[in-house]
Amino acid sequence: MSITVVPAPTFSDPSVDHAIQAIVSGASTDATCSTDLAAGPWDFDSRPGYGPGSSMGDVIPTGAPRQGELPIEYRDATEDELDARIRAAKEALGDRVVILGHFYQREEVVRHADYVGDSFQLATAAKGRPDAEAIVFCGVHFMAETADLLSRPDQAVILPNLAAGCSMADMADIDQVEDCWEQLEDVLGALDQVDADGRVPVIPVTYMNSSAAIKGFVGRHGGIVCTSSNAQTVLEWAFERGRRVLFFPDQHLGRNTAKAMGVPLEQMPMWNPRRALGGSTAEEIADSRVILWHGFCSVHRRFTVAQIDQARAQNPAVRVIMHPECPMEVVDAADEAGSTEYIRRAIDAATQPTSFAIGTEINLVRRLAAQYPQHDISCLDPVVCPCSTMYRIHPGYLAWVLEELVAGRGPNRITVADDVAEPARLALERMLAAKPPVSGAR
């Protein structure tokens, strides 16, 4: 593994890669959660115990897609060489291609994106470019699947590195969810039985961060998709139609949202798929309002109340904003909580120089700090710890897929099978009809 020695970057440099390279080379005294990230994804994905679909330290799910070896010319190229190759390929492709970049992507990738936004905004952004033959999705697997569901059938959605999964999405697999549904039926009776109020026993709700198979399951069982920007609206929709909700995969988004709506914690049992009845009693399930799947985001669970206390001790006027994927006690201790787009808008709307301590992924926080120099914007987690699955979209992979497209080939196409796509689209359409989330990031 070759390490480039670079000077310690300032916070006006949004590049997380530069920050990690500086830590590893000793030019910076900051800490990172994994020095492995200084290498290319082709290096760290080749190790046992760490690979496709997993974040640092998570177990690799069986069946996670595998990325073929990236040709050596892309692995060996410098940052500047890759930048030039990406620009040239993009220029050659013109309107035939649209590049989408998630807020959590590396700076070296985001700078080439035609649209930058949250997972929902990007899924629908493709609709604004019906002329584009290829949608190069610089995000993670479930986002590319959603773009495939919402784009025209003849548009190819391409994920530059197939190993860019989401460990949270992988925490709910379709077999476990089907099994859970059967167990709920044993306790609650026929799940399609409507009561005197016109409600069924349970409505399944899945966070956007889930596989297309789970979205399809939800669509087939009268359920709906939500994002972190519309979770409350979606839960209201579900409670109009069901006596309770089965929410997956993110326990924290489910708990934080339901709690804000007044659902008592005692009525939110957790469903651990490795235990009978998810680890609850039949009485707890019968008395529940929201059953929370045992999933979480490895990045957002790093945030703690102690970090908030420290930020406030340093500056009592600091404005603390957390993403709702963070644990409940952390969200409760913050001033505000909201989606990535909420955080961006809150900063954009601040008219006076403000000190912000943000609880979300570091690539977005560093970019906001560089974009809004009038504010003092920092990440609550002092350790540089990006979403390592997003981080797999290295500019080398972007250069490779674009040059393949120039050559008339279309690698890494993400396609959702028709039998899954139809109900998954239904679940997404129910969400769009419930209330469109905030739009337009750039």
Q: Which of 98, 99, 136, 387 is close enough to bind ligand SF4 by CB under 6 A?
A: 387
Binding to ligand 13P by residue 257, rule CB under 6 A?
no
Decide: is 54 part of the binding site for ligand 13P (CB under 6 A): no
Q: Which does 208 bind (CB under 5 to 8 A by kind): ligand 13P, ligand SF4, none?
A: ligand 13P
Binding mask 338-357 for ligand 13P (x = CB under 6 A): -xx-----------------
The residue to which tokens 């972190």 are assigned: 228
Query: Which residues 259-298 are close enough to bind ligand SF4 by CB under 6 A?
Result: 297-298
CA distance 130 to 116: 17
Backbone dihedral angles phi then psi of residue 189, each to the nearest 5 degrees: 85, -175
State in angstroms the smallest separation of the CB of 164 from ligand SF4.
Answer: 9
**Binding of ligand SF4 by 23 (CB under 6 A):** no
- Binding to ligand SF4 by CB under 6 A, coded x per residue (else -) over 119-158, reads ---------------------x------------------
Per-residue binding letters, 45-84, with ligand SF4 (x by CB under 6 A): ----------x-----------------------------
Query: Is the link from the previous residue into 7 a cis peptide, with omega within 30 of 0?
Result: no
Cα separation, 365 vs 359, in Å, equals 9
Per-residue binding string, ligand SF4, 168-207, x by CB under 6 A, is x---------------------------------------
Which of 433, 438, 306, 398 lies closest to 87, judged by CA? Answer: 398
Tell whether residue 159 is a contact of ligand SF4 (CB under 6 A): no
Residue 285-324 contact track with ligand 13P, rule CB under 6 A, x = bound: ------------x---------------------------
User: Closest CB to ligand 13P among 209 and 307?
Assistant: 209
| Interacting positions 193-252 with ligand 13P (CB under 6 A) | 208-209, 227-228
Query: CB of 123 within 8 A of CB of 138?
Result: no
Helix (H, G, I), strand (E, B) or coil at 95: helix
- Kindly state the number of chain residues that form the binding site for ligand 13P, as judged by CB under 6 A: 11
Provide, rounded to whole angstroms, the least separation between the CB of residue 299 and ligand 13P. 6
DSSP-derived letter for residue 128 is G
Contact at 8 Å (CB) between 141 and 154?
A: no
User: Both tokens of residue 182?
Assistant: 């059967």
Contacted entry of ligand 13P, ligand SF4, none for residue 340, CB cut-off 5 to 8 Å set by kind: ligand 13P
Residue 361 burial (CB count, 10 A): 26
Tokens of 233: 């609206």
Buried b (16+ CB within 10 A) or exposed e, 137-160: bbbbbbbbbbbbbbbeeebbbbbb
Amino acid letter, residue 434: A
Look at residues 243, 257, 253, 259 and name the one whose alpha carbon lies nearest to residue 187: 243
